[in-house]
Amino acid sequence: MEVIISETYEDMSRAAAKAVAKLLNSKPNAVLGLATGSTPLGAYKELVRIHKNEGLDFSQVTTFNLDEYVGLKKDHPQSYHYFMHENLFKHINIPPQNVYIPSGTTDNFVAFCAWYEKRIRECGGIDLQVLGVGSDGHIAFNEPSSSLGSRTRIKTLARQTIADNARFFDKIADVPIYAITMGVGTILEARSILFLANGEHKADAVAAAIEGPVTSMITASALQLHPDVSCCLDRPAAGKLKMIDYYKWVQEKHPSAPQGT
């Protein structure tokens, strides 16, 4: 795992957007896996800026989102469809037919989940998966105790996640209880992973994910099994990492390291 620690959220977001832009510049028809939530907002804003000011092209890009709340229509202001449209898609030149987001309103969730997995494979698999992390260590909506081999399916949200996400709704009772989510196994098949976290409230989850044992109780810890993960953290989120001096040393020595390091 590469651990990149930035002083601020803005620096972290720029580093994340730069990694996405680098991929798109070398592979214009890349397949991106995308996350919602507060964490990637700065990176999406920066990608929009690079698109507008430097011409970053999304015309051949395909995207697959991680998850969606069950029961929310696409135009619900808290749906992840709405979030992605407002914060990224309406500002860039991605063709709407290249955008895939799990349906929260399908009448056949089992068939939809199987189709979503099939569509990812048919598009050649995900080149770069952007991830945030829940305060309970979840990636996508793979709550503690989710199988590390899980595939796209319905999950019941943990009470902690419902409480964390209540800030986006008028009241906690409005937060959906179920979500459709890519599984940990689905995520681990991405060719590379960009794991983002900011804020002190994520420090425990980040430390457990990067330095703790691999366990279904912290599904982000499964990323330790993946050969190509970059963790972009701001300083508060990195605050509980035991090996922080080593990560900083690696960052410092990176420019002179042999190619491929």
| Count, residues near ligand F6R per rule CB under 6 A | 13
Q: How far is the CB of 253 from ligand F6R (least distance, A)?
A: 31
Q: Is 228 part of the annotated catalytic residue set?
A: no
Q: For residue 34, what are the contacts with CB-CB under 8 A and spacing of at least 6?
A: 40, 63, 64, 65, 66, 84, 88, 130
First to last CA, the chain: 11
Q: Give me the catalytic one of 67, 117, 127, 234.
A: 67
Q: In what order do the strands lie in the sheet with 67-69?
A: 67-69, 178-181, 153-156
The residue to which tokens 């209540």 are assigned: 166
Task: Out of 20, 61, 126, 140, name the contact with ligand F6R by CB under 6 A.
Answer: 140
Task: Out of 33, 42, 102, 134, name the contact with ligand F6R by CB under 6 A.
Answer: 134
Site for ligand F6R in 162-181 (CB under 6 A): none
139 near ligand F6R, rule: CB under 6 A:
yes
Task: Out of 13, 39, 216, 221, name the contact with ligand F6R by CB under 6 A.
Answer: 39
Dist. CA 56–CA 144, nearest whole Å: 37
Backbone CA torsion sign across 86, 40, 166, 70: positive
Q: Is 76 part of the annotated catalytic residue set?
A: no
Q: Is 127 part of the annotated catalytic residue set?
A: no
Phi, psi (deg, nearest 5) at residue 104: -95, 0
Q: Which is closer to ligand F6R, CB of 13 or CB of 98?
A: 13
220 near ligand F6R, rule: CB under 6 A:
no
36 near ligand F6R, rule: CB under 6 A:
yes
Q: Is 138 part of the annotated catalytic residue set?
A: yes
Dist. CA 71–CA 179, nearest whole Å: 9
Residues forming the active site: 67, 136, 138, 143
Binding site for ligand F6R (CB under 6 A): 35-39, 66-67, 132-134, 138-140
